[in-house]
Structure 1
Amino acid sequence: MTETLFGGLLLAALLFFVSRRLGLPNFWAGILSGALPFLLYLAYSQQHWTGGDVLAIHFAVYLANAGLLMVFGGMQQKKQKLHWAPRLIIGFFIGLVVLNAVLLSISSRGLPDSISNLFLPHPANETVHTAFPGLIPHDRNKLYEPHLARLDQQRHLGWKIGIEGWDTMRSKTPSTITLKLDDAQGAGIAGAEVTMGLWRMANSRDDQKFTLSEVSPGVYQTTMTLNDSGRWILDLYIQHGEDTYIKQQTLYIDGD
């Protein structure tokens, strides 16, 4: 989102000054610099939808930028120096755009590790997630009750779980996910039933569920294909005898 926001502004400025050089009137140069980047973003969002709020932010920023370019072009035509008041307004909008870009980046990807580790609590063996988790369907709220009830039991189990394959996973591309399950002493736990449920926030039609097969003692694998990029919620469920382990975390899957 940061790339499309600033990239669109650079494209708008380029379009404005090139069209003015080619003799296009100031008004129509401003319209072109605002409309074309937004239309390109509309086409881009058809394949990489990030929500109506992000679309509205792009529209507002592109529109404001077009207005500022038109004011600047008009001042150039009249060969007038820019008064301090318009300069202050332009500075305010530039700061607003930068602030929106920073907030969009944090909401989609979270704080950089260097910042989150410095200011936020970081318990041992836990990952701090600072990205906005998105909307949660009402029918999914019931999953939290059994999860909270089993937290104490899971802490006493002392199981060590490692998952590989998420870092290289791309949407619409088959990927192999490997889970390694060890007990408190570090020995592999064989014979467990391992399932992964992946669901999209506020869109239950994309939900998928996978069962992992044991390939060696304590090592379980599956091949999965997710049909869209963006943020997913992982529900990990492990059953071994009478012991149950449930974990939920957020994943971000890149496009193909």
Structure 2
Amino acid sequence: MSETWLGLLGGVVLILLANWLLVRFGGKSANYAATLVALVTVGLYVPYAILRWPGGDRFALHLAIFLLTSLGCGILFRANGRNEALHWGPAVISGFFVLVAVSGALFAIVAERGITPSLSRWLFPATSSGREVTSVFPGVISHDFQKKEALYNDYLQQVEAQRQRGWQVRKGWLNEPLVDVPTVFRVAVQTREGQPVTEAEAGGEFLRPSDSKRDMPFKLTETEPGLYQSTVTLPLAGRWNLVLRVRRGEDIHEVRAVTEILGR
């Protein structure tokens, strides 16, 4: 179990315990205890989340479940203290919000880890094109320069230097790329004047948009002056994002593109 879900479970247990202690030993009413615990929860969790930001979705999910737990404690402890049945109105409202919170938690778990293979085979239809169906959505982040202003400024300087350098890069497959078939990927690099860029380091990654665990790094070997190539085998059909880098000394040239791999 990840740190996120351990924190969620621990928070719920602490809220339940705090409400029970206030009602049982503190002599407080259920409404007072639930309100106090909810306010303390917000006062503690919000600053903690700001300092260690987990992401907007997880923040909202945690806060909703924590507050719903305190609300549920207030309703249940009040009904228990009066020795009366729980009214259907509050029960329906609480049940609705619990359903929303649980659904959000399930969606977050599926997005992070995906569903089990057996459930995937039951839910998703069989494919005839060789494409793999995945329920994981980790997203694609090929560079994180926007997270920090300094790194972003460095990136802008690199882009401007690349534009002024004027290298010409041509790339492509020698044959039609098919899934699980080794295919030669070739890159030709020339200067602005049309001279071959020799003795450079060339390589990059093929990024899978639907599953970053499938990303494929590669390195190219110079076979002729300014001509670099390598045999690449991509395991899944469909769209792949390409990040290609050519480095010679302090000069770095980066190219981004999209390629389509056909199923067999």
With structure 1 as the length reference, what TM-score do the two structures score? Answer: 0.51
Give the whole-Å Cα distance in 2 for the aligned partners of 1:139 and 1:8: 31
Q: Residue 159 of structure 1: which of 182, 188, 192 is its match?
A: 182
Match of 2:134 in 1: 129
Pick closer, same or farther for the CA change 1:46–1:108 going to 2, 3 Å. Answer: farther
Shift of 1:23: 1.3
Query: In structure 2, the residue corresponding to 1:239 is in which secondary structure?
Result: strand
Unpaired runs of at least 5, structure 1 = 141-145, 161-192, 202-230, 250-256
Match of 1:20 in 2: 23
Contact persistence 1:16–1:33 (CA under 8 A): yes
Shift of 1:137: 7.9
Unpaired runs of at least 5, structure 2 = 146-168, 184-200, 224-228, 235-239, 242-264
Q: How does 1:160-175 map to 2 (within 5 A)?
A: none
With structure 2 as the length reference, what TM-score do the two structures score? Answer: 0.50
Shift of 1:17: 0.9
Deviations 1:34-77 (A, max 9, x none): 35556358647855x43112101211221222222223233333
Match of 2:219 in 1: 238
Contact persistence 1:238–1:245 (CA under 8 A): no
Shift of 1:106: 0.6
Please tell me the residue identity of whatever aligns with 2:54: T
How many corresponding residue pairs?
180
Pick closer, same or farther for the CA change 1:97–1:58 going to 2, 3 Å. Answer: same
Give the whole-Å Cα distance in 2 for the aligned partners of 1:151 and 1:246: 13
Contact persistence 1:12–1:33 (CA under 8 A): yes
Match of 1:68 in 2: 72
Is 2:67 aligned against 1:80? Answer: no
Q: Quote the sequence identity (%).
A: 23
Q: Residue 116 of structure 1: which of 117, 120, 125 is its match?
A: 120
Contact persistence 1:4–1:41 (CA under 8 A): no
Contact persistence 2:22–2:33 (CA under 8 A): yes
Give the whole-Å Cα distance in 2 for the aligned partners of 1:41 and 1:152: 55
Q: Residue 104 of structure 1: which of 89, 100, 108 is its match?
A: 108
Pick closer, same or farther for the CA change 1:113–1:41 going to 2, 3 Å. Answer: farther
Give the whole-Å Cα distance in 1 for the aligned partners of 2:179 and 2:99: 50
Shift of 1:87: 2.5
Give the whole-Å Cα distance in 2 for the aligned partners of 1:78 and 1:104: 38
Query: In structure 2, the residue corresponding to 1:82 is in which secondary structure?
Result: coil
Match of 2:237 in 1: none
Match of 1:52 in 2: 56
Query: In structure 1, the residue corresponding to 2:217 is in which secondary structure?
Result: strand
Give the whole-Å Cα distance in 2 for the aligned partners of 1:134 and 1:50: 16
Contact persistence 2:38–2:67 (CA under 8 A): yes
Q: Residue 34 of structure 2: which of 7, 30, 37 is its match?
A: 30
Please tell me the residue identity of whatever aligns with 1:92: F
Contact persistence 1:75–1:81 (CA under 8 A): yes
Contact persistence 2:12–2:66 (CA under 8 A): yes
